[in-house]
Structure 1
């Protein structure tokens, strides 16, 4: 399966994309995505139900969150009531150690995103504060990266032995699918399936930039 693990809708304060418009764009442009994950900033959207869009467009639509920590931004997959009670998702200085530990305790999966980005990326904080124990997976391909950021992310992840995944970090419709993650041996139909697949480690980051820009 091919999933875009990092997208934002109008639910995020800087998002301008409606979820249905993402679906329409994927089908109009014939992108090879099987689905996408909505990772809204500093919150978890407990109210929205996208099952009707999943059925209409034959796409998997899952929900996660992007939180902000003292070591940059982190995506959290598998958010549940226990994790919502343990963390204040609106806090822009969550301790990354706490996020990683609580995610694991609650059966979720936490991984830093765009780690090569200045100020909000994990690796820029490593330069000043040292390496964080407990990180094992990072987003190495990000559709919003400027030249050099993904290259640094890929190199540092390799040096540190981290697994890598990809996501578009789309905030507008036309950016979805620029980067994604391939799960070659998995059938993912739920957030629990996604957490299991990420934990299992059999995935790889994919860049679809050229294909997306051509269409």
Structure 2
């Protein structure tokens, strides 16, 4: 199954310019099998998304993109914002209590100053510095392909995940019509609901892919 793990809508993300309906219609046209709504510090009601999935005959799953002191992290399994989530260690505790998953989103942000492609030592130094941050050591996976990143930022994310030995995922980070369809995560087994998604993420049965 081909799933976009990182999307936003105008309903719950201040910087998005697309409705949920627009997002679903575009995802279906691109032959994605599901999308995850990861609004900024906001959460969709899971029962509501079950209803929406039935109405559109397309799987829409809940998550959130939480802003922390150490960057943005995708969460799956949490249902509401709790004061203190901006501390990654506390966020990780909440995720574990909920038997959920924590993923480092676009890890190059706040961590990588784009260098010339030939300046390998500078990148390696920044990778090492980032890898020693607790936030990236305790997350379950890293988003290595983000639809809004450039080649060097993607290379940083890939090398960071390899340095840490973390599983790799991909998400478009869609905020407006036209953002979908460049990257996604291919799951090796069928995903029917949030529980399935979390199980497969924990099991590592997925591959990040670049679509175009």
Q: TM-score range by the shorter chain?
A: 0.7 to 0.9
Q: Please tell me whether residue 205 in structure 1 is matched to residue 208 in structure 2.
A: yes
Answer whether contact 2:41 2:67 (CA < 8 A) is retained: yes
Distance 1:107 1:120, change over 3 A: farther
Q: How many residues align?
A: 198
Moved more, 8-17 or 142-151: 142-151
Q: Offset of 1:22 from its aligned partner?
A: 1.4
Q: Offset of 1:192 from its aligned partner?
A: 1.1
TM-score, normalised via structure 1 length: 0.82
- 1:40 aligns to what SS in structure 2? coil
Match of 2:152 in 1: 148
Q: Offset of 1:53 from its aligned partner?
A: 4.3
Moved more, 140-149 or 45-54: 45-54
Match of 1:213 in 2: none
Match of 1:114 in 2: 106
Of 130, 135, 142, which residue of structure 2 is paired with 1:138?
A: 142
- 1:41 aligns to what SS in structure 2? coil
Distance 1:197 1:171, change over 3 A: same
Match of 2:39 in 1: 40
Q: Which runs of 5+ in 2 are unaligned?
A: 114-124
Match of 1:72 in 2: 71
Moved more, 143-152 or 9-18: 143-152
Q: Offset of 1:119 from its aligned partner?
A: 5.5
CA offset digits 1:60-119 (Å, max 9, x no partner): 101110101111100001113xxx37x32xx6x711111112201221111110012236
Answer whether contact 2:73 2:102 (CA < 8 A) is retained: yes
Question: Matches of residues 118-129 of structure 1 in structure 2 within 5 Å?
Answer: 118=110, 127=129
Q: Offset of 1:200 from its aligned partner?
A: 0.8
Distance in 1, matches of 2:177 and 2:126, equals 29
Answer whether contact 2:39 2:65 (CA < 8 A) is retained: yes
Answer whether contact 1:143 1:179 (CA < 8 A) is retained: yes
Distance in 1, matches of 2:49 and 2:112, equals 30
Of 169, 176, 191, which residue of structure 2 is paired with 1:172?
A: 176
- 2:151 aligns to what SS in structure 1? coil
After superposition, the CA RMSD in angstroms is 2.6
Match of 1:102 in 2: 94
